Structure 1
Amino acid sequence: MLKRKRVGTFAASVGLALVMVLVGNSGTTLASDRSDQVDKQKAASDRAAKLRASLEDVSADLADSVIALEEAKDAQIKAQSRYDEAARVQASVAREQAQAQDNLEVASAQLKRVEKALALSQKKENDNLINIGKIARQTYTNPSLNGSFEFFISGKNSTDLSTYARNASLATQIQSDTLKLVQDQIVGQRNSQAEQRELTLQVRKLKEQADAALKSADAAKSEKADKLDELNKTVAAKEKQEQDLNSKKGEIAKQLEQAEKDKQDAQKRISEIDAKNRETKAAGSAGTSTAGFTTGSIFQGPIKGQLALTSPYGYRIHPVTGQRRLHMGADIHAACGLPQYAAANGTVVSTRYEGTGGNTVTINHGMIAGSSWVSVYRHMTHFASSPGQRVSKGQLIGYTGATGRVTGCHVHFELWKNGSVINPIPLP
């Protein structure tokens, strides 16, 4: 936000506000009336200056806020788009992962069925082998079946032997055919088992890849969601800030309108008093100089001794704000606590803290040589005079300090002639 020239605005208002206090016995009442109006105008001008500066600050803040809000909304739209895309990708990957899970479950179930069928076939094979062995043993050893052992020890003839042999061969052949069928089935089932195992392995790898892809998509979606949530909060905060600034701007504008009215009313009265002052042709005296002061024909320096300028009157780069602005007075080298004195006879208009000017003394010197003169002394550490006090040239009014917006202790001395600030050095 740009820095505001508040000191200049305020000082200009002071210059417009402060005009001579009518001197002489015939002008006592008029001077008192004018002094009251000066106080009213100065208060209104001071309030208007501060409100105007505040309004400028608020307007600048509001402009910055509007720009920042638009930028935040643009970022919000982009973040929403990125989140929507991440959500779309995540949903697609989730479907693929679910499909991979289903495929793995189907493949695993099929493998179990193949392995179970193979186990049953192997059991049948084993049972058939056992049955063939039993038939052989029973055929040749069991007497009830007319086995070969019984044949040799009995008196049976060859015809009986032939019949027995055919019966035994037929039983064995039946078992052998069954065994061959089962064994062929086992070979096929083992091939199916190998193929199903390979298929299941591939499906499991695809499932693992799908799991990894889903995990990555979940993380991306979560990250985009966090960023979107952050921007949503930023937009909400900036919208609230803009509302507050708009409200504040409206309030200040109303106050400024009233302050401007007060200022105009006081200025009108001062103009009337100035006209009467000119009619009376009142003139003040600058008084005699105090020994040891650097003096001009009307004014003397605000401190004793030679005046060593550290920053003259005119446009400069402000040492604190870094902005180019009018330096309305002359900065004079002086240590903290060094006494400061009235530059000429006059009436103290105000002694108060004035923002960047710090503790400030303002003196109205009245009409001198046909012109209205006001002197201003800023950044004091504390005062040695009070509003309404009549002071003489060279009289103590306060002590040097570093209040307000400064980089160190020094004297800031201003002179206003007919409502306009002038270069105070060399002294008029």
Structure 2
Amino acid sequence: MTREPSPLPFRRWATTHILRGIVAAACAVTLVCTTWTPAGADDLDDRSRELQRQIAAQADQVEEAHAKHDEAVAAAAEARAELADAQAALARAEEAEKKAEELDAQREAELVDAEERLKQAKADVAAAEAALDSVDRRLNEEILVTTQQSSGLLNLALIFTDVDASNLNHRAQLATTLFDSSTRQLDELETRRLALEEAQSEADAAERAASEARAAAAEQLEISQEATDKAEDLKAEVARLSDAMDAAEVAVADAVAAEEKRQRELEAENASVEQRIQDRIAAERKAEQDRVATAASRDKVASSPSSSATRRPATSNNSTSSNARFSYPSSARITSKYGMRLHPVLGYWKLHDGTDFGASCNSPIRAAADGVVSERYYNGGYGNRLMIDHGRVNGTYVTTGYNHATRYIVGVGQTVTQGQVIGYVGSTGYSTGCHLHLMVWENGKVVDPMAKWFG
């Protein structure tokens, strides 16, 4: 009945007004149904200008509803994909943040250790300097004593002083002792000097290590902060996308609810049409039985050949020809056949209850066979409808229906002939473009138009 809408590549979705087309259609149906009955549908001609304005506005709103639904579906799918990507990125960011924090703690520990080693190295340098100073003072004192012992005054003292051999020997031993002590002091002084140099070297290395540790800690802190900021940004993005997905899914749910409502209305309309056709069949049968009974009573016979003369030609077709064929109501190509197909919104298989002809707007619609116009009215789903009863064809009561027309030029009760122009193609009702939706009922039940009657 409708052409399949193509998906629209927009990211916006419909959160409001998606049902405007359906509501407008329902209002139009209410207006028509409360004002006219199918039997009096010829009054459409008296109000055609107002109705056509409403139809045009409603068609625009239906097309907008289609577009907004497609956008909502696309937006929901895109939001789900983006949300999944953002959640994965957030997980990676949180893992990176955790590792950064661990490395940050490691760098902090390394910095503390480096600072401690630097402190110890400085203490070692200070101790080495103190020890070197101490040795240096003692060495200077011993050098002074040794110098005094070996001076010229000492030699004169030996000449003019009463010094025996034992005193002289004692003094010689003292000089030797002082010399040996000075030598040891010099060795210790060298050792202390080397220790000081080593301590200073270690202190310099500790200072460099501490500086590097400070720089590494500062750099790692910056990396950790960036990881934290990124994780927070991704958390916000995940929340935003989650809200967007919720909004898109609400819009889709609204669209689905609208489609379900429209589907129920179409099913109710079809059931009503079938019942009305069956009521007409029953009424005709009863009328025929009454005519037969009247003739039998009058002529005292079981049947009367003249009884068939009281029938209307269009509703008393008793043809037994197996070659009875109806003509196509439009010369346009068939764009959609009768049968089950997947509903693009509801997601389940439903019956496409007719054959669509892809005719251009305002192209003529022709009667498929001789008959009498039985109904003409507007419906929110099928738009402008017209039905022709063809009577019994090969023993089957056949009715054809024409939908979505912009207007009809025949009225209820009017006899039409095969090929006669009865109206013009349009896009009224729930339709996305001009086309003719042809339907056929056999004994009041909708069937595939192409299966039997159209060759």
With the length of structure 1 as denominator, give the TM-score of the two structures. 0.51
- Corresponding residue for residue 97 of structure 1: 107
The residue type paired with residue 423 of structure 1 is: P
- Corresponding residue for residue 331 of structure 1: 357
Structure 1 residues 391 and 208: alpha-carbon distance in aligned structure 2, compared to 1, 3 A threshold = farther
CA–CA distance in structure 2, aligned partners of residues 404 and 179 of structure 1: 113
1:106 deviates by: 0.8
CA–CA distance in structure 1, aligned partners of residues 263 and 230 of structure 2: 49
Answer whether contact 1:121 1:185 (CA < 8 A) is retained.
Answer: yes
Secondary structure (helix, strand or coil) at the match of 1:106 reads: helix
Structure 1 residues 33 and 126: alpha-carbon distance in aligned structure 2, compared to 1, 3 A threshold = closer
Answer whether contact 1:363 1:376 (CA < 8 A) is retained.
Answer: yes
Deviations 1:60-114 (A, max 9, x none): x99xx89x98x979x96x8888777656544443333222111101111112222
Deviations 1:41-70 (A, max 9, x none): xxxxxxxxxxxxx9xxx9xx99xx89x98x
CA–CA distance in structure 1, aligned partners of residues 40 and 145 of structure 2: 142
Of the candidates 157, 161, 173, which is equivalent to residue 160 of structure 2? 157
Correspondences of 1:295-310 after superposition (within 5 Å): 302=329, 307=331, 309-310=333-334
CA–CA distance in structure 1, aligned partners of residues 92 and 336 of structure 2: 59
Of the candidates 418, 421, 424, which is equivalent to residue 398 of structure 1? 424
CA–CA distance in structure 2, aligned partners of residues 109 and 268 of structure 1: 102
Correspondences of 1:37-48 after superposition (within 5 Å): none
Secondary structure (helix, strand or coil) at the match of 2:376 reads: strand
1:397 deviates by: 1.7
The residue type paired with residue 108 of structure 1 is: L
Correspondences of 1:192-271 after superposition (within 5 Å): 192-193=199-200, 230-231=237-238, 233-235=240-242, 238=245
Answer whether contact 1:329 1:413 (CA < 8 A) is retained.
Answer: yes
The residue type paired with residue 39 of structure 2 is: S
Answer whether contact 1:362 1:376 (CA < 8 A) is retained.
Answer: yes
Answer whether contact 2:367 2:416 (CA < 8 A) is retained.
Answer: yes
- Corresponding residue for residue 383 of structure 1: 407
- Corresponding residue for residue 297 of structure 2: none
Correspondences of 1:18-417 after superposition (within 5 Å): 35=39, 89-124=99-134, 139=148, 148=152, 157-159=160-162, 180-193=187-200, 230-231=237-238, 233-235=240-242, 238=245, 275-281=282-288, 284-286=312-314, 302=329, 307=331, 309-310=333-334, 314=338, 328-329=354-355, 331=357, 337-343=362-368, 344=370, 345-346=372-373, 349-350=376-377, 354=381, 361-366=384-389, 368-369=391-392, 371=397, 373-378=399-404, 382-383=406-407, 385=409, 392-393=416-417, 394-395=420-421, 397-399=423-425, 404-405=431-432, 413-417=438-442
The residue type paired with residue 106 of structure 2 is: E
Question: Percent identity of the aligned residues?
Answer: 13
Secondary structure (helix, strand or coil) at the match of 1:376 reads: strand
Answer whether contact 1:80 1:228 (CA < 8 A) is retained.
Answer: yes
- Corresponding residue for residue 423 of structure 1: 449
Structure 2 unaligned segments of length 5 or more: list them. Answer: 6-35, 44-64, 289-309, 316-322
The residue type paired with residue 117 of structure 1 is: A
Structure 1 residues 182 and 313: alpha-carbon distance in aligned structure 2, compared to 1, 3 A threshold = closer
Answer whether contact 2:39 2:375 (CA < 8 A) is retained.
Answer: no
Number of aligned positions between the proteins: 347
Answer whether contact 2:361 2:426 (CA < 8 A) is retained.
Answer: yes
CA–CA distance in structure 1, aligned partners of residues 261 and 324 of structure 2: 46
Answer whether contact 1:311 1:331 (CA < 8 A) is retained.
Answer: yes
The residue type paired with residue 383 of structure 1 is: R
Structure 1 unaligned segments of length 5 or more: list them. Answer: 6-31, 40-53, 141-145, 288-295
CA–CA distance in structure 2, aligned partners of residues 363 and 259 of structure 1: 16
Deviations 1:134-186 (A, max 9, x none): 6678x49xxxxx9736986x9981448989x8899588887776555444333
1:383 deviates by: 3.3
Deviations 1:299-326 (A, max 9, x none): 66545xxx575568555999x99x9975
Structure 1 residues 240 and 226: alpha-carbon distance in aligned structure 2, compared to 1, 3 A threshold = same
Q: How well do the aligned residues superpose, as a CA RMSD in angstroms?
A: 6.5
CA–CA distance in structure 2, aligned partners of residues 249 and 412 of structure 1: 23
Structure 1 residues 413 and 300: alpha-carbon distance in aligned structure 2, compared to 1, 3 A threshold = same
Answer whether contact 2:364 2:421 (CA < 8 A) is retained.
Answer: no
Structure 1 residues 297 and 377: alpha-carbon distance in aligned structure 2, compared to 1, 3 A threshold = farther
CA–CA distance in structure 1, aligned partners of residues 425 and 338 of structure 2: 25
The residue type paired with residue 184 of structure 1 is: T
Secondary structure (helix, strand or coil) at the match of 2:399 reads: strand
- Corresponding residue for residue 306 of structure 2: none
Secondary structure (helix, strand or coil) at the match of 2:111 reads: helix
1:376 deviates by: 0.8
Secondary structure (helix, strand or coil) at the match of 2:116 reads: helix
Structure 1 residues 123 and 388: alpha-carbon distance in aligned structure 2, compared to 1, 3 A threshold = farther
Structure 1 residues 404 and 273: alpha-carbon distance in aligned structure 2, compared to 1, 3 A threshold = closer
1:266 deviates by: 8.9
Answer whether contact 1:337 1:400 (CA < 8 A) is retained.
Answer: yes
The residue type paired with residue 157 of structure 1 is: F
